[in-house]
């Protein structure tokens, strides 16, 4: 796979089918799984921009829908799944298990990039599997929705917030204080709002994320199946 070729993949586990986009540059040491915010998915332009930047720096990426097509249709009508952090975290865990078995990605160190409510799901999933997840980056995240799990997150975590996103900034400052058991840093992008739509703001997010993942993601040994 060349350095910016992305292929459509199907993530199937336990009767659940999720759509994804996998990009795996030659020589990658790590892979970043994207957990999207409420009402978003694998085609999110902002996350695709960040993923493209990460691949250009030699990091593999997996963007996927956390909901099936049927669930997405339900959520559009009712909004009942997009804030169900436990449900979304389980889907992220499902995708992580798929990555561990994929021939191109099974040796890569695993990190999470979460946006908005997806960041809460990423923190919960990282807390559940501390021995596996090597780094987490949150963009405009809602760590308050993962409050019960913050003390258990061991992966080095970068919280990125827009300087004008005042309420979310307060939530992230409180989360940083809670996460004293791991390396946790808060980066504020000046004059940026929640979606980082201001000129140059998303580029700053991508650069910060790439630096964090490059620092902490490293290749790992695949799990050995001892059963015959």
Architecture of the domain delimited by 6-216: 3-Layer(aba) Sandwich (3.40)
pLDDT over threshold 60, residue 224: no
Confidence grade of residue 83 (pLDDT, cut at 50, 70, 90): confident
Predicted confidence at residue 226, as pLDDT, reads 41
Predicted confidence at residue 35, as pLDDT, reads 95
Answer positive or negative: Cα dihedral of 148, 151, 153, 155. positive
pLDDT over threshold 90, residue 14: no
Predicted confidence at residue 191, as pLDDT, reads 96
Instruction: Give me the percent of the chain exceeding a pLDDT of 70.
Output: 95
- 69-78 pLDDT, tens digit each: 888 888 788 8
The residue-averaged pLDDT of 221-228 equals 51
Q: What is the pTM of this model?
A: 0.93
CB contact at 8 A, 211 and 202: no
Predicted confidence at residue 1, as pLDDT, reads 47
pLDDT over threshold 70, residue 218: yes
- Integer Cα distance of 185 and 172 in angstroms: 10
- 114-166 pLDDT, tens digit each: 999 999 999 999 999 999 999 999 999 999 999 999 999 999 999 999 999 99
The residue-averaged pLDDT of 90-118 equals 94
- 29-56 pLDDT, tens digit each: 999 999 987 667 788 888 999 999 999 9
Contacts of 185 (CB under 8 A, 6+ apart): 157, 158, 159, 176
CA distances from 40 to 10, 35, 64, 72, 184 (A): 18, 9, 10, 10, 26
First to last CA, the chain: 32
Residue ranges per domain, the chain?
A: 6-216
């Amino acid at each position: 796979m060349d350095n910016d070729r992305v292929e459509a993949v199907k993530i199937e586990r336990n009767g659940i089918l999720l759509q994804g986009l996998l990009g795996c540059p030659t020589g990658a040491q790590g892979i970043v799984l994207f957990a999207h915010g409420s009402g978003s998915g694998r085609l999110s332009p902002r996350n695709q921009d960040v993923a493209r930047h990460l691949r250009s720096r030699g990091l593999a990426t997996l963007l996927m829908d956390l909901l099936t097509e049927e669930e997405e249709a339900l959520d559009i009508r009712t909004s009942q799944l997009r804030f169900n952090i436990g449900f979304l975290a389980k889907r992220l865990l499902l995708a992580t298990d798929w990555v561990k078995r994929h021939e191109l990605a099974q040796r890569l160190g695993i990190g999470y990039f979460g946006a908005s409510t997806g960041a809460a799901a990423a923190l919960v999933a990282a807390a559940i599997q501390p021995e596996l997840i090597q780094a987490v980056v949150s963009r405009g995240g809602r760590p308050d929705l993962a409050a019960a799990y913050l003390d258990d997150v061991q992966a080095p975590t970068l919280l990125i917030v827009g300087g004008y996103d005042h309420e979310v900034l307060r939530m992230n400052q409180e989360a940083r204080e809670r996460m004293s058991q791991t390396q946790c840093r808060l980066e504020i992008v000046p004059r940026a709002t929640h979606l980082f739509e201001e000129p140059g703001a998303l580029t700053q997010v991508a650069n910060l994320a790439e630096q964090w993942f490059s620092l902490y993601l490293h290749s790992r040994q695949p799990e050995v199946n001892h059963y015959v």
